[in-house]
Amino acid sequence: MTDVTAPPAGRRRQPPVKTPLEERPIRDVEAPLSSPSATTGLLEVFRRHYLLRLLVRREISARYQGSFLGLLWSYINPLSQFVIYYFVMGVIFGLHQGVENFAIHMFCGIVIVHFFNETFSAGTRSIVRNKSLVQKMAMPREMFPVASMLVSAYHLIPELVILVIVGALLGWTPTMAGMAAMVASLVICMVLGTGLALMFATANVFFRDVGNFVSIITNFVRFGVPMMYPYTMVQDRFGEFAELYLWNPISVAVLLFQEAFWVGTTKDPAATAASNLPADLWSYTAIGILMSLVVLAIGQLVFSRTENRIPERL
């Protein structure tokens, strides 16, 4: 009864004493007044490498989550592609006649194309896939395409292991020039793939169709590089127009990778290189790297221009 008759104020719990503003300590904040959204861009991504590492690890564990075979899929996928292409192109169409160790020739292509396509397509979708983070937290959003690229790079490791082991069995030995070619090849894929992913990632937020469009492009890549057929065939059919073919940085990357891992497995590596690789491969490599860097710069520009609208459109 007393409860009911007591005035509401009397029932109230004693509020905690609020320190008046004047008596609160002044926190010593060294940072200057600045725009809270200013710190973005690719450089910022690498400055926050701890966060990047966590995102990469997360992505790796999430990609095969709930699947029974788990990481094994990253072996199964390229291997199944390999088997299909080998039978269709090699056995049925006979495209590998006259090419020594065609299996390795082709596997080099598969590794590079797979790496580039994964970087490109997973990177394009990365913003949408991480929307719960993008909507709620302030961070450099370039982080997501870059993390996708690193995840794809992680999946390169088992493929490289296969290549090295099989190559070594066939008499391949590492050379300086070969390693340089491998590095150049991977750099092209990383830079070009990330650049294109940045270019398309925002568009994919506005129209999810972009992801499908990117799938089509990646299909073209498969046929536009000397993977299922040797480069000599391109030279034979197109003559001087083969030069145009080499303006595609991914073709160059595949050729470089073949120089690194395939040429060394043949009986006469010098002769193979002379007959199967373009003479001025390294000039095209320089052009390819330059083009990739330009694409990356454009990608960053496009991304910075459009990313403001990302959180509200997700």
Partner 1 sequence: MTRPASIVVDHATKNFTLRYHRTFKQMAMAAIKRQDISDEFKAVDDVSFTIQQGESVGLMGLNGSGKSTLLKLINGIMKPESGTVQTRGRIAGLIATGAGFHQQLTGRENIYLNAAVLGMTESETRRKFDDIVEFADVGRHLDSPVGHYSSGMFSRLGFAVAIHVDSDIFLADEVLAVGDKPFKQKCMQKMAEIRDGGRTLVYVSHAAASVRKMCDRVIVLESGKVGFDGDVEEGIRYVRYEADEDQEELENEDEELGADI
Residues that bind partner 1 (CB under 8 A): 8, 11-13, 15-16, 18-22, 24-27, 29, 31-38, 48, 50-51, 54-55, 58, 62, 65, 130, 132-139, 308, 311-312
CB of 130 to partner 1, least distance (A): 8
Q: Which is nearer to partner 1, 54 or 301 (CB)?
A: 54
- Region at 94 (left for phi over 0; alpha for psi -120 to 50; beta for the rest): left
In terms of CB distance, is 55 or 214 closer to partner 1?
55
Shortest distance in whole angstroms from residue 94 CB to partner 1: 44
Contact (Cβ atoms closer than 8 angstroms) between residue 116 and residue 189: yes
Distance CA(100)–CA(246), nearest Å, equals 22
**Which residues have CB under 8 Å from 258's CB, separation 6+?**
105, 108, 109, 226, 276, 277
2/65 with CB nearer partner 1: 65
Of 173 and 308, CB closest to partner 1: 308
When the beta carbons of 97 and 132 are compared against partner 1, the nearer one is 132
Q: Contact, 236 vs 242, CB < 8 A?
A: no
Q: How far is the CB of 284 from partner 1 (least distance, A)?
A: 39
Distance in angstroms (rounded) separating the CA atoms of residues 230 and 226 = 5
Closest distance to partner 1 from the beta carbon of 201 (Å): 17
Smallest distance from partner 1 to CB 21, Å? 5
Q: 71-105 b/e with 16+ CB inside 10 Å = b?
A: eeebeeebeebbeebbeebbeeeebbeebbbbbbb
Can you tell me the distance from the alpha carbon of 98 to that of 58, in angstroms, rounded to the nearest whole number? 45
Taking the least distance from each CB to partner 1, the nearer of 65 and 97 is 65
Q: C-beta of 114: minimal distance to partner 1 in Å?
A: 24
